[in-house]
Amino acid sequence: MTAELTHPRTYLVRTLGCQMNVHDSERMSGLLEDAGYVSAETAGTGSLMAQADGADVVVINTCAVRENAADRLYGNLGQLASLKRERPGLQIAVGGCLAQQDRAGIVARAPWVDVVFGTHNIDVLPALLERARHNGEAQVEIEEALKVFPSTLPTRRESAYAAWVSISVGCNNTCTFCIVPHLRGKERDRRPGDVLAEVGAVVAEGALEVTLLGQNVNSYGVGFGDRGAFAKLLRACGRIEGLERVRFTSPHPAAFTDDVIDAMAQTPNVMPSLHMPLQSGSDTILRAMRRSYRSEKFLGILDRVRERMPEAAITTDIIVGFPGETEADFQATLDVVEASRFASAFTFQYSQRPGTPAADLPDQVPADVVTERYGRLQALQERISTEENATQVGHTVQVLLAESEGRKDTATRRLSGRAADNRLVHVGLPDGVASLPETERPRPGDLITATVTGSAPHHLIADSGLTGGTFELRRTRSGDAWAARERATAAAASAAEGGPPAPAGRAVGLGMPTVRRG
């Protein structure tokens, strides 16, 4: 019997981009496993080359939002070219937004790529790989409209304890800086029953947290004639037994209504965290961006959220250097950021994206001016984040432990995860817990309650348990699901190598590999 028949082909999916891409990558993995592939043992082991070394198929799921997205893709492909020269049987596939945009141009620029597929036809990935092997030539297939809703496809979820659930795909907005509507199409909503069925299913499989995904979640329902559907969906999630944390991303300020705020405040398992993209604090720039709200409305939303949920942590997105931005416009952004008191902010220097209206606007801001303004914005937000996190010292938080949040956890004997408001928290382990056998230590998916004892701009420290203070561990069915997955993975690896079954109950050490931000 040949080695190919003895051992199934292995795959690696590498994700570049947003949460929707992560969701799509889980579908790609599910499709490949449904077709008989298995995840490469080298996945997650470090650099792209280290991870790809054990894979027969490497899939890169791309982003097209930022200018450096293409640089990242072709940088990755350049690395893989040498590996393909060593192993001609290696297949390389490129999907996602940049594939939808560049199409056959990817193969023209990187002729060692075997498959190119877009955002609308994820389901054809296994067939295209097989066709490329059979025909000995690259296969490029792009659809102009969604054929199969991604959420109906097989999935291999990255996390046993936290799940992404898509409620819609595409976007009906026309922001002048954004390429997403062109690449993902008009918004299409899933029916509430389908969404809730998937949420119920992932909870039954062990998930404790669910993040509802859409390009503009609070316009959900317009497609089937119910503008109040998103608030209703949040309340319905509150009735799902076993679901302890609900998050969502991303809303749009123009469509964010008080019924959603009420649903957040009145539904106990909807977390007090909100990501509300500002983009600019200048009304002039917001108008040029075709963002159909103004700074006063934006600040009013934050006021109403905090009135109903004083403990809410609010984050945002901001673009610096949009065409035509003057110093006065930028100062308006700084003023709104100061007033907003964001817990953190994702800040970006504007970059021209071919195919967007803003790319052709006059008055492109010089790069040195953009860089200088960007530095000032970062310094302001760093100060605010430092001050806001300092207010959390003395608060008791419940932390959902994660797999890869803390890079120094092993050295510091801390475990890391997210508080209810989505702040990153590093929790110190009392001696009695740190010295437990591995099978009895806290696991990803378990919950620890501790008191915040220190803070920094980007995280909190909760070392109360080290001095006899608050430290409560709740082992959860999500932690059980994580442990079961680890045992299954170890057993499969052992069987593939012809060794004895792996021992049951492998738990994580003191370094935690993510509950993603919602």
Q: What is the DSSP letter of 253?
A: G
Q: Which helix (H) or strand (E) holds 57?
A: strand 57-62
Q: Which amino acid is at 56?
A: D
Dist CA 151 CA 153 (whole Å): 5
Question: Could you count the other beta carbons within 10 Å of the beta carbon of residue 369?
Answer: 14
Task: Pick the closest to residue 297 from 264, 344, 334, 258 (CA basis).
Answer: 258
Q: Does residue 18 have a known ligand-binding role?
A: yes
- In contact, 160 and 196? CB cutoff 8 Å: no
Helix spans in 341-468 (H): 367-390, 409-412, 431-434
Dist CA 405 CA 426 (whole Å): 9
Which residues pair with residue 6 across a beta bridge?
none
Q: What is the DSSP letter of 39?
A: E
Pairing of strands 162-166, 209-213: parallel
Q: Which amino acid is at 122?
A: I
Burial of 130 from C-beta contacts in 10 A (0-12 / 13-18 / 19+): middle
Q: Does residue 237 have a known ligand-binding role?
A: no
- In contact, 301 and 337? CB cutoff 8 Å: no
Distance from chain centroid for Cα 149: 19
Please state, in angstroms and as integers, the Cα–Cα distance from residue 120 to each residue in 144, 183, 383, 384, following that order: 7, 9, 42, 40
Dist CA 390 CA 358 (whole Å): 39
- In contact, 225 and 179? CB cutoff 8 Å: no
- In contact, 399 and 448? CB cutoff 8 Å: yes
370 Cβ contact partners less than 8 Å away, ≥ 6 residues apart: 320, 321, 349, 350
Q: Which helix (H) or strand (E) holds 162?
A: strand 162-166
Return left, alpha or beta for 411; rule: phi > 0 is left, psi -120 to 50 is alpha, else beta. Answer: alpha
At what angle are helices 327-340 and 367-390 packed, to 10 degrees? 10
Q: Which helix (H) or strand (E) holds 305?
A: helix 295-308
Distance from chain centroid for Cα 78: 25
Q: Does residue 175 have a known ligand-binding role?
A: yes
Q: Does residue 171 have a known ligand-binding role?
A: yes
Tell me the three state secondary structure of residue 399.
Answer: strand
Tell me the three state secondary structure of residue 215.
Answer: coil
Tokens of 107: 């193969």
Please give the annotated binding residues for [4Fe-4S] cluster, written as ranges.
Answer: 18, 63, 97, 171, 175, 178
Residues making up the annotated binding site are 18, 63, 97, 171, 175, 178
